[in-house]
Structure formats: structure tokens, C-alpha cells
Amino acid sequence: MPARDAVSLPNTEAFENIADHHIVRNFVGGLRMMLNDRTTAAYFWILVGITFLGVVGPMLAPYGIEQTQYSETGQILSAAPPSINHPLGTTFAGYDVLSRLLVGARPTVITGLLGGGLILTIGTSIGITAGYVGGRTETILMRFTDFVYGVPLIPFGIVMITFLGVGFLSSILVIGLILWRGGARVIRAQTLQIKQYPFVKVAKATGASRRRIIIKHILPNVAPMAIFFLALGVGYAIMLQASLTFLGVASPFTPSWGVMIRNAFNSGYMSQAWWWSLTPGLLIGITVLSTFMFGRGYEDLITADSESVEADTVAA
């Protein structure tokens, strides 16, 4: 792989300090390297697009989400097929599908980012702690992780939501509280490996503190894997949230894409008004696929020995 120079960023001192930090530099460097790869770059831009949709989507919506649409003759446009005025058709109640889709982007993006962030934070902390500290701490943490692995995700999610109360945020919280398990395992394995490398031993022998070793050596080296997990977590969170919504245990009042499919399904019109559930479903699928492929691409390019860890991650 060709050498790449340090990234140049605006020359303010604070910014430089941040940019100079290992993790940031490696992250930015990795991102650049990755965008050279056309396929990965494509997935990246899809994700950027969806995030952007999450920001501006509600503003672009041509109609209100609960604004009943009428035809020129004054009839309610119930489950009307796509037309010029309603490019994605309308729902049974006569709402504009496109508008709901645009508005629904925001909760989806929030779910992804919050859920992914939670998964990343918990998984990385537990993984690094278990891997680096070792001994009894490791045994306990990893037994606990094994235990969480045995938890059937959706039923348990429902139990926890009934415990926490039905709501949009609580569904995300539940997702984060379960799905860190794959990340914890893989990051622990990586930490164990890195810990054995001579450069960590040298740092220890020179008197580097545990904190220093974790921040300066372990974190930057597990960062690609952690990014992979962030991406994966975003995808899983979106998918799981949609599933919980579909079962009716996440808030039905937040007009996410999952709610749209649920409404279409419950209306009994899903085969007639196929446009109602198709676009949200496709969008969820494309988002999840993009996060996964993006994470894979990042990880592939950054770490040479990436292959062996992917297996564990998909089973999360």
C-alpha cells in the first residue's frame, strides 16, 4: 500500500492538537484511503445521503404527515397508486407516502446513530477492559457476554421495553444494551492480540501507565475494528428498531419507516397498496446494507489481518 502523508487540516492550534491525535489521524487517514476505493466510497455517500435526509427530510416533505389528501373530485385519496402529485402514492388513510418517508428519515437516522454509538461505547469498553485487564475481571465480563449472547434478542427486547416503558428512546436503549455483545467479543480478541505484541511490552517495560497504553497503543489499533462495529451497530439498531416497531412495542407515534410498514401490514392492504410498505422497506434495507458494506470496506483496508474477525461480527 502506498504511503500517504499526514492529513492536512485547517491550521488552528486546537484543531491541530485534535487532528494530531492518533485516533483522529488514523481515522481520517483511513477514511481517505477508503474513499479511493470506488465501491466503498459509494456506500459511504449513500450513508451521507441518508444522514442528510435525516436532517433536511422533514423540511422537504411536500405535505404534512397526517394531512389527508383529496383528489380533484374531492374524494379521499385512500391507497392511491403513485401519481405526479403523490410520486409514492398515498396510504389507506389518504396520507402522502413520500412525505411520511421524508419525515421518517429522522427517527431512523437518530436510531442508527444513538444505537450504534451505544453499541460501540459499551462493546469497546467491555472488550478492552476484559482483554487488557485479564484475570478474573476478564472471566466475569466474558461470561456475562456469553450470557447476553444466549439472550433471544427480540423477546428480551420486548421484556425490557415493558420494563422501561414503551417509547422511541427506550427502544434504542434496549438495542444498545444487548447488541454490544459481538463487538465486545471481537474487540477483546483484538486487544488480547495487541497486548502480546512486542511494542506493547516495550512500552510497559519503559514504564508506560496502563492508561497510556490503552489510549496510545490499544485504542488506535482497535479503532478500525471499532469503526466497523459502529457501522454494523448503526445497521443493526435500525433494523431492530424497525422490528420492535413492527411488533408494536416501540412508540407508534414516531413516524419511522418501521411504523409505516406496520401500518401498511395492519391495514390489510399491503398487497394492493404495495407502494406503501415497499419504499420504507427498501430504504431500511439499503441503509443497513450500506452501513455493513462501508464498515467492511473500512476494516478491510485498514487492517491487514481483518479477515479472521469478520466471522464473529456477523453473528452479533
Partner 1 sequence: MADDTPLLEIDDLEKHFEQSTNILDLLLRREPSKIQAVDGVSFTLETNDSIAVIGESGCGKTTLLLTLIGLHDITGGDVVYKGTPMSDFDDADWKEYRSNVQVIFQDPFNSLDPKMTVEESLKEPLKIHDVGNRDERVYQVLEDVELRPPEQYLHRKPMNLSGGEKQRVAIGRALVLEPDIILADEPVSMLDVSTQASVLRMLKDLIDDYDASMIYISHDLSTVSYISETVNVMYLGRIVESAPTEWILDDPKHPYSEALVSAIPIPDPHHDRARTEMSGAPRDPIDLGEGCRFRDRCPKVIPPDGIDVDQEAYREVMAFREALERDDLPLERIRKELDDPGDQEAFAAAIRGEYFSGEMTGENATTVDAALDDVADGDLDAAADRLRDRFESVCENTPLSVEAEADWHVACHQYYDHDRRTKEDHAITTD
Partner 2 sequence: MSSMKRYVVVRGLQTIFTLWLVLTALFVMFRSMPGDFTSQMAVAGASEEALAALRAQWGLDEPLYVQYWRYITNLAQGNLGESPVYRVPVWEFVKMRMFNTFILVAPAMTFTYLLGALIGTITGSKRGSRLEKLGIIPVIGVGSFPAFFLSIVLVVVFASWLNLFPTSGMLSAGGTELETWWGPYLTADFGIHYVLPFTAVVCRYLFIPSLIMRTSVVEVMGQDHTEYHRLTGLPIGNRLRHVAKHASLPVLTIYPVSLARALGGVVLIETVFNWPGIGYALVEAVLGRDYPVVQFVFFVVAAFVIISNFLVDLLYGVIDPRIRVED
Smaller CB separation from partner 2, 53 or 158: 158
Q: Alpha-carbon Rg of the chain, whole angstroms?
A: 23
Distance CA 270, CA 268 (A): 6
Smaller CB separation from partner 1, 175 or 200: 200
Q: Which parts of the chain fold into alpha helices (H)?
A: 13-20, 22-35, 38-60, 97-133, 135-149, 153-164, 168-179, 181-196, 198-205, 210-212, 219-247, 257-267, 274-302, 307-314
Site string for partner 2, 258-277 (x = CB under 8 A): x--x--xx----xx--x--x
Interacting residues with partner 1 between 178 and 217 (CB under 8 A): 197-199, 201-209, 212, 216-217
Distance CA 36, CA 8 (A): 17
Amino acid of residue 307: E
> Which of the listed partners (partner 2, partner 1, none) does 201 bind, with a CB threshold of 5 to 8 Å by partner kind?
partner 1
Least distance from partner 2 to the Cβ atom of residue 225, Å: 14
> Which of the listed partners (partner 2, partner 1, none) does 284 bind, with a CB threshold of 5 to 8 Å by partner kind?
partner 2
Site string for partner 2, 110-149 (x = CB under 8 A): -------------------------------------x-x
Least distance from partner 2 to the Cβ atom of residue 171, Å: 14
Question: Which class for 239: exposed (0-12), middle (13-18), buried (19 or more C-beta within 10 A)?
Answer: buried
> How far out from the chain centre does Cα 311 lie?
18
Q: Are 257 and 104 in contact (CB under 8 A)?
A: yes
Question: Which class for 21: exposed (0-12), middle (13-18), buried (19 or more C-beta within 10 A)?
Answer: middle
> Which of the listed partners (partner 1, partner 2, none) does 249 bind, with a CB threshold of 5 to 8 Å by partner kind?
partner 2
Single out the segment in contact with partner 1 by CB under 8 A; choices: 3-11, 42-50, 133-141, 287-295: 3-11
- For residue 103, give the H/E element and its range: helix 97-133
Least distance from partner 2 to the Cβ atom of residue 48, Å: 18
Q: Is residue 310 close enough to count as binding partner 2 by CB under 8 A?
A: yes
Distance CA 250, CA 265 (A): 16
> How far out from the chain centre does Cα 63 lie?
29
Least distance from partner 2 to the Cβ atom of residue 137, Å: 18
Distance CA 302, CA 75 (A): 58
Distance CA 128, CA 147 (A): 18
Site string for partner 2, 232-251 (x = CB under 8 A): ---x---x--xx--xx-x--
Quick check: helix, strand or coil at residue 70? Answer: strand
Smaller CB separation from partner 1, 39 or 209: 209
Q: What count of other Cβ atoms lies within 10 Å of the Cβ of residue 63?
A: 19
List contacts with partner 1 (CB under 8 A): 1, 3, 5-6, 22, 26, 197-199, 201-209, 212, 216-217, 220-221
For partner 2, the binding residues (CB under 8 A) are: 147, 149-156, 158-159, 162-163, 235, 239, 242-243, 246-247, 249, 258, 261, 264-265, 270-271, 274, 277-278, 281, 284-286, 288-289, 292-293, 307-308, 310-311, 314-315
